[in-house]
């Protein structure tokens, strides 16, 4: 991971002289603001920050490392040819502008679903498949938040035991939908009339409805888990089905996961495989009430796994409970880890 050699007490501008020029596209949104927070917290070497947002936000001011930064337009940002563009502004924005950044030599790391299944664009979780990024790639896709935490737990198990089947039920917080969804939840909780992002109330409710329903009666979110997992793990033979549910939690996604493994396993071996994998924290002492929860994963960059147990009827069946902060590892942190790796690997050394 790239780090600064200066202390936080020094002038932020001086500390970033040797850094990179970075555009954060969608800087005023939930994911964009989290990217800015993680850039500062992880001390990524930023020489110049371009805060980019829609025309409605141009001219507004955000704060980064204690300094005011004016929001600029997409066209202004492209003209400045930043070395890295971290996109957090939705699929249409990525479709319209990602290639324009790439054409001026900017490396785009995109949080939308626009490029994820493009065979010419790597879909990357840094702990798993950084090698998929080649010098010719100027667009790298960040996976879906629910997919990231799932594959983080599946990868060490697939390497050791071979996952042949996965059935996933997600419990996804409203922050995964954006600020308007948080406003709906908080408004309903306070008894106010609010604009509804969801087709039903979300407070004191669960909606088995994440994204839109497709012709096969699965939602787009459920199919993202199906397709993206196979691409990231590089194995099209894994059978994956999902049910995605929106729950009235403010932040943090949870997943109940049932796996069928090809090789014999013991629960201690499963715990060991997970504990050894970078970015995974095992919390599995149910007798002491220790298990992953969204409230304890909030603000953290790791993926938490617990409730590890063998199935009662299938000898090769395994159950897991997986939790992660969807705005951190599920979005901003994963994208930033990609940038950190490429910076350390010298991707921008000739800039």
Single out the catalytic residue among 137, 158, 253, 328. 253
Residue 253 annotated to the active site: yes
DSSP structural state of residue 144 = P
Residue in the structure block whose two tokens are 């497709």:
214
Q: List the structure tokens of 216.
A: 């096969």
Distance (Å, whole) CA 2 – CA 47: 13
Output the DSSP codes for 32-51.
HHHHHHHHHHTT--EEEEEE
The helix/strand/coil state of 211 is coil
**Residues 6 or more apart whose Cβ sits within 8 Å of residue 242:** 167, 168, 169, 170, 218, 221, 222, 225, 226
The Cα 145–Cα 207 span in angstroms is 18
Distances (CA, A) of 60 to 11, 94, 203: 23, 22, 32
- The dihedral built from the CA positions of residue 146, 152, 154 and 159, taken in this order, carries a sign that is positive
The answer to whether residue 210 is catalytic is: no
Which one from 137, 145, 210, 328 is the annotated catalytic residue?
A: 145
Catalytic machinery residues: 145, 253
């Amino acid at each position: 991971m790239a780090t600064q050699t200066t202390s936080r007490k020094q002038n932020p501008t001086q500390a970033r002289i040797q850094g990179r020029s970075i555009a954060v596209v969608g800087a005023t949104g939930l994911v964009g603001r989290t990217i800015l927070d993680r850039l500062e917290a992880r001390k990524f070497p930023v020489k110049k920050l371009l805060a980019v947002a829609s025309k409605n936000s141009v001219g507004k001011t955000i704060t980064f490392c204690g300094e005011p930064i004016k929001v600029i337009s997409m066209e202004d940002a492209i003209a400045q040819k930043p070395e890295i563009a971290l996109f957090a502004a939705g699929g249409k924005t990525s479709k319209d502008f990602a290639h324009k950044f790439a054409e001026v030599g900017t490396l785009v790391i995109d949080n939308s679903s626009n490029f994820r299944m493009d065979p010419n664009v790597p879909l990357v979780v840094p702990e798993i498949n950084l090698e998929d990024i080649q010098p010719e790639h100027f667009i790298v896709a960040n996976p879906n938040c629910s997919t990231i935490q799932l594959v983080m737990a599946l990868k060490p198990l697939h390497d050791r035991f071979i996952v042949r089947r996965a059935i996933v039920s997600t419990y996804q917080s409203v922050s995964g939908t954006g600020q308007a969804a948080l406003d709906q939840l908080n408004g309903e909780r306070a008894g106010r009339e609010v604009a509804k992002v969801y087709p039903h109330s979300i407070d004191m409710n669960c909606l088995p409805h994440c994204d839109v329903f497709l012709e096969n009666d699965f939602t787009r979110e459920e199919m993202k888990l199906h397709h993206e997992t196979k691409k990231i793990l590089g194995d099209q033979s894994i059978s994956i089905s999902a049910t995605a549910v929106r729950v009235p939690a403010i932040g943090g996604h949870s997943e109940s996961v049932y796996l069928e493994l090809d090789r014999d396993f013991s629960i201690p071996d499963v715990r060991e495989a997970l504990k050894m994998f970078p970015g995974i924290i095992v919390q599995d002492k149910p007798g002491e009430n220790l298990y992953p929860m969204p409230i304890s994963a909030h603000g953290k960059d790791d993926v938490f796994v617990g409730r590890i147990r063998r199935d009662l009827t299938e000898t090769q069946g395994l159950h897991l409970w997986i939790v992660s902060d969807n705005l951190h590892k599920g979005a901003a942190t994963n994208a930033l880890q990609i940038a950190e790796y490429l910076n350390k690997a010298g991707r921008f050394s000739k800039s």
